[in-house]
Amino acid sequence: MHHFQQRDGVLFAEEVSVTALAKQYCTPLYIYSAATFRRHFHAFDSAFDALDHLTCFSVKANSNLAVLKMLAAEGAGMDIVSGGELYRALQAGVDPSRIVYSGVGKRDSEIREALEARILMFNVESLAELERIDQVAGEMGTTARVSFRINPDVDPQTHPYISTGMQKNKFGLDIDMSMQAYKRAAELKHVEPVGMDCHIGSQLTSLDPFLEALDKLLAFNARLKDLGIEIKYLDLGGGLGIPYNEEEPPHPAEFGKALSDKLKGLPLKVILEPGRVIAGNAGILVTEVVYTKSNPAKNFLIVDAAMNDLVRPSLYGSYHRIAEVEPKGRAPKVFDVVGPICESGDFLARDRELPEVMQGELLVVYSAGAYGFSMSSNYNSRPRACELLVDGDKVIVARRRETYDDLLMNEL
């Protein structure tokens, strides 16, 4: 459930008219609902109440500082994958002891920054990274808490670009290599192996791959125990899908129960790294129809949002529901909804049935709160969109629209 609803013929974000916001802040415009963020966070987090657990929001899904601050205030930790995300999380006031750091290519400087901040742990993805962390921690006269990201070779049945837990993917260590990694960590002076981690992919719509991966991890943990290696943290990553169109992913409660049933009673603190399930449906992208045009093959709605604002349709062929901000009950027609960028791959929807909207009208692109703005760019020298956070009847400019001067700011 989200708080973007039609009221008297106009779409509202919580208590505020989307038309009024678009007038004031222009388009393309990202609008987030604070109530939806909070609701999704607690629906997810409370699903694990039977376990000692920590929910770390995956910063890459929506990195806006106002969003991070709000989630941190609700009790979220953060899952980061870069020095930049660490910086954002710290600026948002997140307690470093609630930050976990994944990623296959952590550089020395990033490792140092995370050690200085005293994050909870590094999810280590290769033997080379382990040696590097040990070395950097040694230079700093400290010890790094590490967990190993295990690649369980499970097919998450999702888009190949966002599947991460199969052997052909670059992520994590296979089971045999993981055993070597724990043994090596036991020999090193400046790392302390405290956890085990796994993230098999994103937008998963079935529980089976999660449970299959968990079984493999638990079997591996039993082998570690036999060797006298005891871990404290089990990080199960993120990946739970959301309904964009007709998908029916498990509800977080179902997900939480299925995992809790397997984990109850084990002396492990469980860490979760949800991104999309919290942010996805907490945000919309509002765009204006700039022109319409038709040829014998196609009807086009040319809108002012483009692949630089929301790349998911172009990159993954993703579906985002699109509708009028002010529905007028007109007959539907089949359109391609395209942006102004000079690429045929610049579209928000293809062959989509939509009412025959006119130039100057507003459309809403749903489910844009995750991997929307955070994946945006300046391609075609387009200033990035404005992000608003609506909380009841309050509107916070979470990021102002970029200007032409912003485009040139770093070009010396």
- Catalytic residue positions? 342
Least separation, in Å, of the C-beta of 82 and ligand LLP?
A: 11
Least separation, in Å, of the C-beta of 318 and ligand LLP?
A: 7
> Which residues 225-284 are close enough to bind ligand LLP by CB under 6 A?
237-240, 273-277
Buried b (16+ CB within 10 A) or exposed e, 334-365: ebbbbbbbeeeebbbbeebebbebeeebbbbb
Q: In this structure, how many other beta carbons lie within 10 angstroms of the beta carbon of residue 7? A: 9
- The verdict on 202 binding ligand LLP (CB under 6 A) reads yes
Number of residues that bind ligand LLP (CB under 6 A): 22
x/- mask, ligand LLP, residues 275-314, rule CB under 6 A, reads xxx----------------------------------x--
d(CA 283, CA 196): 32
> Which residues 48-67 are close enough to bind ligand LLP by CB under 6 A?
58, 61
x/- mask, ligand LLP, residues 162-191, rule CB under 6 A, reads x-----------------------------
103 carries a ligand binding annotation: no
Least separation, in Å, of the C-beta of 251 and ligand LLP?
A: 15
371 carries a ligand binding annotation: yes
Q: Which is nearer to ligand LLP, 115 or 242 (CB)?
A: 242
132 carries a ligand binding annotation: no
Least separation, in Å, of the C-beta of 112 and ligand LLP?
A: 21
Q: In this structure, how many other beta carbons lie within 10 angstroms of the beta carbon of residue 378? A: 12
326 carries a ligand binding annotation: no
> Which residues 118-157 are close enough to bind ligand LLP by CB under 6 A?
none
Give the interface segment with ligand LLP, choosing from 133-141, 174-182, 345-353, 367-375 (CB under 6 A).
367-375
Q: Which is nearer to ligand LLP, 287 or 367 (CB)?
A: 367
Rule CB under 6 A: choose which of 62, 82, 102, 281 binds ligand LLP.
102
254 carries a ligand binding annotation: no
Q: Which is nearer to ligand LLP, 11 or 72 (CB)?
A: 72
Least separation, in Å, of the C-beta of 23 and ligand LLP?
A: 29
Binding site residues, as ranges?
239, 273-276, 312, 316, 343, 371
Binding site residues for pyridoxal 5'-phosphate, as ranges?
239, 273-276, 371
Interacting residue ranges for ligand LLP, rule: CB under 6 A: 58, 61, 79, 102, 162, 199, 202-203, 237-240, 273-277, 312, 316, 370-371, 375
